[in-house]
């Protein structure tokens, strides 16, 4: 295996992640068993924008519509999203870093009893039955205490999300989780899932991702250092332009990956662009997600979608639907490509976006 160049790593990152469209479940598995979720819809939710490139004939909202029939579960991995049962099993039974006292558990037990009575519980129904009142949430607003307890019980392995009702999670009791026979093997498997999703990775990003596994399985935080060392030992590695890079041992970044002449508008959390450290090394500029940045301080827009042309992220697009029509504004790091192939590819991507959103062409 020859040592790759930075250009090789760019093509490797794009080609291995943006594989030929397949079934929804196969796409999730090829993404390491996990798709990150986000509630903002601009013009669609992040999970849908991620899957549209990788699932045949995918339409906005398909994941949520099909969720009750799919072998997937909403859960927290390194962030919140949709997980395969195989990946989810490595994290549970999960203890939380924030320990609940007896008074909190008494309230939580009443929530569990109400969920058991209802079978499938909407937070509003639980709150109406128990009237726990409100509590300050993490961003300074007020939430219903019952809703916060439901979220906490879900994280603590006691509840499953069975469906959504107009976007609101509905819960049922989770089956008891057996104790993990080998915590180190579970951590190794989760590390492999992250590498599968985000490789090739600079050393700093690999270390950060392994550290984030403490959110997935706080009970095994003492294994963080050994998990990182074991991952480095089994992965392929090369120093490229002064940075150590890692990827699965059975892959060759320098093999000559073929990248189609396509424009692809990517979700801010798409695996191709998610790791901002890697993004800057591969494409030479800083992309920032600005949805929560005050409007006056935004540089690229509320929900700017990175614009990938062939294997280069050359700019961004802000999309919105106005009176049933898709509108777009483009920005470029340098200048808009002048070649006719780019204009045709951009029109094809906007047409695909309209189809994905069920808008008129």
pLDDT tens per residue across span 7-45: 999 999 999 999 999 999 999 999 999 999 999 999 999
Burial environment of residue 22 by CB neighbours within 10 A (0 to 12, 13 to 18, 19 or more): middle
For 138-178, the pLDDT digits (tens) are: 555 667 888 999 999 999 999 999 999 988 999 999 999 99
Q: What pLDDT sits at residue 35?
A: 98
Residues 253 and 12: beta-carbon distance below 8 Å: yes
Q: What pLDDT sits at residue 2?
A: 77
DSSP 268-279: TT-TTTS-HHHH
Residue 118 pLDDT grade (very low, low, confident, very high; cuts 50, 70, 90): very high
Q: Count of residues for the chain? A: 361
The pLDDT mean for the chain works out to: 95
Residues 327 and 319: beta-carbon distance below 8 Å: yes
For 297-315, the pLDDT digits (tens) are: 999 999 999 999 999 999 9
Has residue 135 got a pLDDT over 70?
no
Domain boundaries, the chain: 102-173
Alpha-carbon span 259 to 7, nearest angstrom: 12
Has residue 256 got a pLDDT over 90?
no
For 201-248, the pLDDT digits (tens) are: 999 999 999 999 999 999 999 999 999 999 999 999 999 999 999 999
DSSP 289-347: --TTS-GGG-SS-TTPEEEEETTEEEEEEEEEEETTEEEEEEEESS----SHHHHHHHH
Has residue 134 got a pLDDT over 70?
no
Has residue 289 got a pLDDT over 80?
yes
The pTM is what? Answer: 0.94
For 48-78, the pLDDT digits (tens) are: 999 999 999 999 999 999 999 999 999 999 9
Neighbours of 175 (CB within 10 A): 8
Q: What pLDDT sits at residue 102?
A: 96
Q: Give the residue, 250 or 138, on which the prediction is more confident.
A: 250
Has residue 355 got a pLDDT over 60?
yes
Has residue 136 got a pLDDT over 70?
no
- Tell me the percentage of the chain whose pLDDT exceeds 90: 92
Burial environment of residue 131 by CB neighbours within 10 A (0 to 12, 13 to 18, 19 or more): exposed
Per CATH, the number for 102-173 is 1.10.10
Alpha-carbon span 256 to 16, nearest angstrom: 12
Nearest to 115 by CA among 53, 81, 160, 152: 160
What is the mean pLDDT of the segment spanning 99-127? 96
What is the mean pLDDT of the segment spanning 248-254? 96
């Amino acid at each position: 295996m020859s040592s790759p160049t930075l250009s090789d790593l760019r093509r490797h990152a794009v080609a291995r992640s943006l594989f030929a469209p397949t079934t929804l479940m196969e796409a999730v598995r090829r993404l390491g068993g996990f798709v990150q979720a986000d509630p903002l819809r601009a013009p669609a939710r992040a999970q849908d924008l991620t899957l549209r490139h990788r699932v045949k004939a995918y339409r906005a909202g398909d994941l949520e519509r099909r969720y009750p029939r799919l072998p997937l579960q909403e859960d927290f991995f390194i962030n919140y999203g949709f997980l395969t049962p195989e990946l989810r099993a490595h994290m549970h039974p999960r203890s939380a870093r924030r320990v609940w006292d007896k008074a909190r558990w008494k309230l939580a037990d009443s929530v569990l009893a109400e969920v058991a009575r209802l079978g499938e519980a909407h937070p509003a129904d639980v709150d109406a039955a128990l009237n726990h009142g409100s509590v300050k949430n993490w961003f300074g607003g007020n939430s219903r205490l019952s809703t916060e307890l439901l979220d906490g019980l879900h994280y603590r392995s006691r509840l499953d999300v069975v469906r959504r009702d107009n976007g609101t999670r509905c819960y049922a009791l989770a089956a008891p989780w057996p104790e993990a026979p080998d915590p180190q093997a579970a951590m190794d498997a989760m590390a492999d899932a992250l590498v599968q999703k985000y490789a090739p990775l600079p050393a700093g990003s690999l270390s950060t991702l392994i550290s984030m596994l403490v959110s997935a399985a706080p009970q095994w935080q003492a294994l963080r250092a050994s998990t990182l060392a074991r991952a480095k030992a089994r992965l392929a590695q090369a120093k490229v332009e002064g940075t150590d890079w890692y990827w699965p041992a059975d892959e060759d970044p320098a093999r000559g990956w073929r990248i189609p002449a396509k424009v692809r508008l990517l979700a801010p959390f798409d695996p191709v662009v998610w790791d901002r450290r890697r993004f800057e090394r591969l494409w030479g500029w800083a992309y920032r997600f600005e949805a929560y940045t005050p409007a006056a301080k935004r540089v690229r827009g509320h929900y700017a979608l990175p614009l990938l042309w062939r294997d280069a992220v050359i700019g961004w697009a802000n999309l919105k639907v106005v009176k049933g029509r898709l509108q777009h504004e483009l920005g470029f790091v340098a200048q808009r490509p002048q070649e006719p192939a780019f204009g045709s590819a951009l029109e094809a991507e906007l047409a695909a976006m309209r189809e994905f959103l069920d808008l008129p062409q």
